[in-house]
Structure 1
Amino acid sequence: MSDVTVKQLAKVLGMTDDKLLAQLAEAGMTFNSVDQPVSSTEKVKLLGFLRRTHGKGEAAAAETTAPRQITLKRKTVSEITVAGVGPRGPSKTVNVEVRQKRTYVKRSSMTDEPEVDSEREDALRKLQESQTKREAEDLLIQEKDKRRHDEEARLRAIEDAKRQAEEGRLRAETEARAAAEEAAKPRKEEPARVDAAPKVAATPAPAAAAAPQPPRKDHRVRDAVDEPARHKGPRAPRGREEGGSDEPAGKTYFGAELHLSKAGSERRGAAKKKPRPRPGEMQKQQPGGPAHGFSRPTAPVVREVAIGESIIVADLAQKMAVKGAEVVKKLFKMGVMATINQAIDHDTAVLVVEEMGHTAVAEIGTDAESVLVAKTDNAGDKETRPPVVTIMGHVDHGKTSLLDYIRRTKVASGEAGGITQHIGAYHVETGKGVVSFLDTPGHAAFTSMRSRGAKLTDIVVLVVAADDGVMPQTIEAVQHARAAGVPLIVAVNKMDKPDAEADKVKQGLVQHEVVPEEWGGDTIFVPVSAKTGDGVDALLDAILVQAEVMELKAVKDGLASGVVIESSLDKGRGPVATVLVQQGTLKKGDFLVCGVEYGRVRALFDETGKQVESAGPSIPVQVLGMSGVPEAGDDFVAVADERLAKDVAQQRQQKRRESRLFKKSTKLEDVMSQMGNQGETQRVLNLVVKADVQGSVEALRDSLTSLTNDIVRVNVIASGVGGITESDATLAAASKAIVIGFNVRADASARKVINESDLDIRYFSIIYDVIDQVKQAVTGLLGTEIREDIIGTAQVRDVFRSSKFGAIAGCMIIEGTVKRNKPIRVLRENTVIYQGELESLRRFKENVDEVRNGMECGIGVKQYNDVKPGDQIECYERVEIQRTL
């Protein structure tokens, strides 16, 4: 409750203003006007003064000193006898003690104290916030219901039009058939009417008065053509005829037989005259079918099937009103093996729908994503924003050192191994304006990081070392900048070195269509030195001039949107995302949707670690408060409602899960190739990769999986951001994987699992070492191969017979050396006819170990006597060689 004035308080207390002012003055409080407010503290002080004045101070003091509650305790003890077990078992006496405790509280102390005004205000504020939130949710629900009702009304109108057309067609066919039957009826039924009259007249009258006969098992139904008055049987409970007669209008019984009325007789006679159609002729006699029965459609029903980005096979079959097995069969014919519970992508679903004769339409967006797009409004006045500049180039060409000089910090000295392995974002306030810089890694493994930096930027500054020239990552940076369609500025670094050659850099870049302005091109070349600072001002001037030419503008007011540059998991702060604001202003307390993650901005930090309240366009900041670690490169959007942010994140996660499912759908060609390669065994190296930031995880995963070949497959079974947890260690133990920690460590529970399971865990801080060690492990799994090297060839000149060794070939060594203990092959007309071993090798009747080129010798082939002059004996050896990548 807010403070009241003296006048209002006097009115509430029922006294005059002057009397209340006098009492306040006696209590030691001076009030100059009746409109002066009275706080709660002053009210309590006035109340205490009045109590003391009227003699209630002692009573109040006694009240405070008197006990507020009294507790009474009572205990009673009694004995009971318990019978023993069995008929003669001894009985037992048990003491039973009952304790009671009662507390009496003074009634005056039970009265609740009045609530504090601030608490009531807080409750009212929360109530108002919840009411506002509920109204917004109701509006969102009403909007969804309206869209659904409109869609249902449209579909209902289409169905009604189709049904009316079908009923009109059936009605026309029925009328035409009835007219044809009516036209043919007099000619066919005229003799029947003539013959019917005598039969009715010949009906004997005494049959009505006959005595009742005993009931028979076979009751035959006859048409009652006599008048109703002649029937003496009991009346059926059907009421009287319209003419006022007392006889029933329905069934009657006479002579223990069932009789029908006149109308029933005519209906029965018409039914008897009509021949019963055969089962095969049922459709021919009734082409249109009865109006109330099922009629087979005369033409195929074409339906409009709404398909989203992906759809479950069962849902697709339900929309086409066919069985799921038919859709699975159609997919199998198309070469896609999917079960009824699997998801297929949009293009495959469209092909299936068209193959089955239906029409595929795009699904109308009534989901949370559509609501987010509708509420995302960047309308407003655009203002000039700072340029976003990406520093790119080959590794160790001085990118970070150049940015270090611009920012007047020491970032390069803190990098592991002297190379940048993370993408950094900074904004610098220069004398000519604010410039935001993105520093990208130059190592070959960080291709995705460089590509992401080129897409986010307005200007690319390509740093090339004057003493090193154009390198592979330099060419890749040019390609990224050209693909992103952004202007390029070349900074020729390390001009302070004696062997620096700027023309060499220009000549190397001209080969890739990067022509300097002084050579007639459109690319600015600025010679700089990150060490001395020469040319840095000229580089900043070139950047700002290029930004003025581009006229960079953005909406500053409104909800923010942008891109995630990098993300990580901090042990104390949780998920941390480095974002670049592109539109609007990001403020503390905003709700964000970032890929499949959502959250509320708990804090914003700049690149120096200083906390800020907001960030405008082209300003990079670190965001705390996300539900998880977002993917690097995801777009983020600020929304006004947390419920909408949560719904959008959950829907995106569901779509990602469905896309992951249909990516697992097996192609028929893949199955056939796997069946063909079943005989080949491929070794698998399982890895669990954890890193400090999302970009490093992406680079490591791509670099390590690229080491796969036909013999060994590198399989990254799990990867993520943050320290190595117990679940990671358990997964590695179950799959016999190597754990790799890049700038992260394992916690206590994970180390316990690692020690118990004797896992192989490696810690790294430089990406070179990771790739090298994994390459060594893959090389070890490759194993060895046996290779045969021909070491000598001998030509047979003549054959001699020996009683001990059989046929001895007199040979001339024409190539290499023939050794005794090596295997040989016998070749005739360059075709292998025998493969075996040497039994003897002699030269001038002496056994020798080897015979060199150009010498003669005698060779005895073991267990082979069919050697002929002109043959060649090839001597070879088997060498075991380690396989390499």
Structure 2
Amino acid sequence: MDAPTIGGVQMPRGDGSVVRMPRGASLTDFADKIDVQPASLVTVMFHLGEMVTATQSVNDEVLELLAQELNYKLEIVSPEDEDRELLDTFDITFGEDADDGHAVSRPPVVTVMGHVDHGKTKLLDALRKTDVQRDEAGGITQHIGAYQVRTEHEGQDRTLTIIDTPGHEAFTAMRARGAKTTDIVILVVAADDGVMPQTVEAINHSQAAGVPIVVAVNKIDKEGANPDKIRSQLTEYNLVAEEYGGETMFVNISALKREGLEQLLEAVLLTADASLELTADPDMEAQGVAIEAHLDRGRGAVATVLVQRGTLRIGDSIVAGDAHGRVRAMLDENGNNLKEAGPAQPVQVIGFTSVPGAGDTFLVVDEDRVARQIAERRQARERNAQLAKSRRRVSLEDLNKVLAEGKIDNLNLILKGDNSGTVEALEDALLKIEVGDEVSLRIIDRGVGAITESNINLAIASDAVILGFNVRPEGKARELGEREGIDIRYYSVIYQAIDDIEAALKGMLKPEYEEVQLGTAEIREVFRSSKWGNIAGALVRSGEIRRNSKARLVRDGAVVAQNLTIDSLRRFKDDATEVREGFECGIGLGSFNDIKVDDVVETYELREKPRS
């Protein structure tokens, strides 16, 4: 087939081969892959209705459109593959035990999931004999935590690592991440409530990850509790209880009264022993996942990590996501100092130069230089992906509207939170808010820690609103914000922030109006006046006729005049403000005089429609 000519530029015709591109790639990157000039691709995109510069990060859809036009098959490299290729350049293998011959058994990693207020935190309180919930705003767990619980099973002292995931619907991404890092899921369902939306969500995440589920039927001590109903409901989701001939273990518990806890832990261990072979190599360099991270004023960046294989030691050079550093100190969940942490052990690590993201994989490398290089490449990659994600797609059809800019309103946000998992969940929830094409939401910066002067200056420059989640401004930042009139909102419960932003976006929308009919009047006689013009003698058929209301004239079912006004309204010789159904009146339509007997005058008003 001949090479296509677009805009006077002759383009090479592809042979249908696969072009692999990372997220957030530019046209220059694509041009390098197919050996053409970037400027020619800019021309192609312009004729395809996309305004794109050569070096601009573009989203997957734009690259797909370009590849199809030039007869190539586009393959977007997944973040996991990108990371694997990056680590290959440093000759690092992630996610595999170095030597199966050195593998030893490890504790199972258990994730607690379920709907809001079904008792997940109470269950952990009972297992750890601590009270997490009293420190959580609104009684909702909003951070991921990892803890170890010890119990006796078949005469042996066994350890379980438990990950607690938040229950509110905004934390879908965090719960999904929990399922990917876990061996077994404890699904908590309230016996007095039943299967709820987040219950189904948790089941879907777990089943998608291929993780066994143990169901804890909680609150059996409450009035109205019906554990059998829970067992019946969950059969719809392929969770069939053992007593019904299935493979899923159900345990009735009361976290409040600490009943059934030993049976629950026993069910978890039995499931682990029966269906999983849990081993890891403790002799290799440590690898795992960052469960949570936050910025501590005294200690700097602090990350809770779960070691999945190998042994993490003080002094190790470590990289997690786009953060790197050297392990200066390690603490267990009780605040005790550790010198090393083995497989399936959660620890707090101090020593990162920046805050890693919740769910970022971590690994130990030979030296600090390698850790820094890996982190810097990940930063650049993620920055390109974010730029492509936030880019507004513009087509030639609406180019004029976009260039007018005044017709499109943006709400710019800066997010700051006390830990990376919450910031990510909040960003994910806010970007899902839909209010139409007239307004758009842009998150121009996000981070962990106190609100700084840099955040305030960015808000000044971009006219942004700052959302602080469990954080406050630093001293000078507060003064600068107050002096410049920056809108800083503080939240401690995530769905309050989501509701406020959704309301703000709807408030930015131009009002929509709907027509509401007020009344109709049939003209019975026409009176001609040299001073007032033609006056309609009419009978009000429905509703009411109001002076100064909008009107239209209908003749034989067809509208003959629009945008009229009831200029004068009289009852006999007296002026009237309104005339109701069944009464006669005189109607003057101002300078409009083309009225006839049997015409109908319809009056209406425009009312603002509430945004749904």
Category of TM-score, reference length = shorter chain: 0.7 to 0.9
Of 580, 603, 607 in structure 2, the residue corresponding to residue 875 of structure 1 is 603
Amino acid corresponding to residue 449 of structure 1 in structure 2: M
SS in 2 for 1:511: helix
Look up the match of 1:487.
212
Aligned to 1:637: 363
CA drift at 1:413? 2.0
Structure 2: how far apart are the matches of 1:385 and 1:391?
19
Report the counterpart of residue 598 of structure 1 in structure 2.
Answer: 324
Counterparts in 2 of 1:515-664, with a 5 A limit? 515-549=240-274, 550-659=276-385
Q: Give 1:468 shift.
A: 1.8
Measured in 2, the distance between the counterparts of 1:822 and 1:335 equals: 46
Corresponding residue of 1:193:
none
Letter matched to residue 554 of structure 2 = L
Correspondence 1:378 to 2:101: no
CA-to-aligned-CA distance 1:609-643 (integer Å, 9 cap, x gap): 11111111111111111121112111111122333
Structure 2 counterpart of 1:16: none
**Residue 418 (str. 1) matches residue 145 (str. 2):** no
Residue equivalent to 1:445: 170
Q: Paired residue for 1:777, among 480, 484, 504?
A: 504
1:460 is matched with which residue?
A: 185
- Establish whether residue 477 from structure 1 lines up as the match of residue 198 from structure 2: no
Deviates more, 1:323-332 or 1:852-861: 323-332
1:643-680 Cα shifts (integer Å, max 9, x gaps): 3223322333343345556668886x645444455567
Give the match's secondary structure for 2:167: coil
Match of residue 693 from structure 1: 419
In structure 1, distance between residues paired with 2:413 and 2:68: 42
**Number of equivalent positions:** 580
Q: Which runs of 5+ in 1 are unaligned?
A: 1-299
Aligned to 1:102: none
Task: Kindly indicate whether the alpha-carbon contact (under 8 Å) linking 2:286 and 2:310 is maintained by their aligned counterparts in 1.
Answer: yes
The alignment status of 1:387 with 2:108, answered yes or no, reads yes
Question: In structure 1, what is the equivalent of residue 7 of structure 2?
Answer: none
How do 1:493-512 and structure 2 match up within 5 A? 493-512=218-237
The separation in 1 between residues aligned to 2:524 and 2:244, in whole angstroms, is 75
% identical aligned pairs: 46
The CA distance in 1 between the partners of 2:332 and 2:187, in whole Å, is 25
Q: d(CA) in 2 for partners of 1:342 and 1:869?
A: 68
Higher helix share: 1
Please give the secondary structure, in 2, of the residue aligned with 1:446: helix
- CA drift at 1:456: 0.9
Cα distance change on mapping 1:462 and 1:319 into 2, 3 Å: closer
Q: Tell whether the 8 Å contact from 1:708 to 1:714 is kept in structure 2 after alignment.
A: no
Deviation at 1:484, TM superposition (A): 1.2
Aligned pairs (5 A) from 1:148-547: 309=22, 323-326=37-40, 328-329=42-43, 338-342=52-56, 369-373=88-92, 378-380=98-100, 381-432=102-153, 433-547=158-272
SS of the residue 1:707 aligns to? coil
Query: Which residue in the other structure is 1:67 paired with?
Result: none
Secondary structure of 1:373's counterpart equals coil
Q: Which of 828, 831, 836 does residue 564 from structure 2 map onto?
A: 836
Q: Of 859, 865, 883, which residue of structure 1 is paired with 2:593?
A: 865
Deviation by residue 1:739-781 (Cα, 9 ceiling, x = unmatched): 2211111111212211321222222222233233334433443
Q: Which of 536, 541, 547 is residue 820 of structure 1 equivalent to?
A: 547
| Alpha-carbon distance change, 733 to 460 in structure 1, aligned in 2, over 3 angstroms | same
Letter in 2 for 1:539: L
Which ranges of structure 2 fall in alignment gaps of 5 or more residues?
1-12
Could you tell me which residue of structure 2 aligns to residue 725 of structure 1?
Answer: 452
CA distance 1:795–1:665, shift in 2 (3 Å):
closer
Higher mean Cα deviation, 753-762 or 739-748? 753-762
Q: Which moved more, 1:527-536 or 1:804-813?
A: 804-813
- The structural deviation recorded for 1:339 is 4.1
Residue identity matched to 1:640 = D
What is the match of residue 487 of structure 2?
Answer: 760
Distance 2:288 2:133 in 1: 27
State the AA in 2 paired with 1:627: T
**Secondary structure of the structure 2 residue equivalent to 1:598:** strand
| RMSD over equivalenced CA pairs, Å | 3.5
Q: Which moved more, 1:556-565 or 1:505-514?
A: 505-514
Normalising to structure 1: TM-score of the pair?
0.60
Q: Which amino acid aligns with 1:782?
A: L
- TM-score of the two chains, using structure 2 as the length reference: 0.85
Return the offset for 1:704.
2.6
Three-state SS of the structure 1 residue aligned to 2:435 is: coil
Q: More displaced, 323-332 or 436-445?
A: 323-332
How far off is 1:855 after superposition?
2.9
Per the alignment, residue 97 of structure 1 pairs with: none
Residues 344 and 851 (structure 1), Cα distance of their counterparts in 2 relative to 1, 3 Å cut: closer
Residues 535-556 of structure 1, C-alpha deviation per residue, up to 9 Å, x if partnerless? 1111111101000012222222
Q: CA 1:405–1:312 in 2, change beyond 3 Å: closer, same or farther?
A: closer
Larger gyration radius, structure 1 or structure 2: 1
Change beyond 3 A, Cα 1:832–1:634: same
Q: Which moved more, 1:817-826 or 1:621-630?
A: 817-826
Residues 747, 842 of structure 1: CA spacing in aligned structure 2 closer, same or farther, 3 A cutoff? Answer: closer
Deviations 1:113-157 (A, max 9, x none): xxxxxxxxxxxxxxxxxxxxxxxxxxxxxxxxxxxxxxxxxxxxx
Letter in 2 for 1:386: P
Instruction: Say which structure, 1 or 2, has more relative contact order (CA 8 Å, 6+ apart).
Output: 2
Aligned-pair distance for 1:445?
1.1
CA contact (8 A) 2:50 2:395 kept: no
Which residue is equivalent to 1:856?
Answer: 584
More strand, by proportion = 2
User: Are 2:142 and 2:422, in contact at CA under 8 Å, matched by a contact in 1?
Assistant: yes
Deviations, residues 28-56 of structure 1 (Å, cap 9, x unaligned): xxxxxxxxxxxxxxxxxxxxxxxxxxxxx
Residues 513 and 870 of structure 1: CA distance in aligned 2, closer, same or farther (over 3 Å) = farther
For the residues of structure 2 that align with 1:649 and 1:743, how far apart are their CA atoms? Answer: 27
Say whether 1:793 aligns with 2:520: yes
Query: Helix, strand or coil for the counterpart of 1:541?
Result: helix
**Structure 1 residues 327, 824: CA separation in 2 closer, same or farther (over 3 Å shift)?**
closer
Partner of 2:3: none
> Using a 3 Å threshold, how does the CA distance of structure 1 residues 662 and 860 change in structure 2: closer, same or farther?
closer
Q: Distance in 2 between matches of 1:317 and 1:865?
A: 70
2:6 maps to: none
For residue 720 of structure 1, report the CA deviation from its aligned partner. 0.6
Aligned counterpart, 2:10: none
The answer to whether the Cα contact below 8 Å between 2:49 and 2:396 also exists between their aligned partners in 1 is: no
In the TM superposition, 1:90-169 aligns within 5 A as none
User: Per the alignment, do residues 371 and 874 of structure 1 end up closer, same or farther by CA in structure 2, a change over 3 Å counting?
Assistant: same
For 2:31 and 2:220, locate their aligned partners in 1 and report how far apart those are by CA, in whole Å. 69
Contact 2:435 2:505 in 1 (8 A): no
> Shift in Å at residue 393 of structure 1?
0.8
Distance across 2 between alignment mates of 1:337 and 1:367: 31
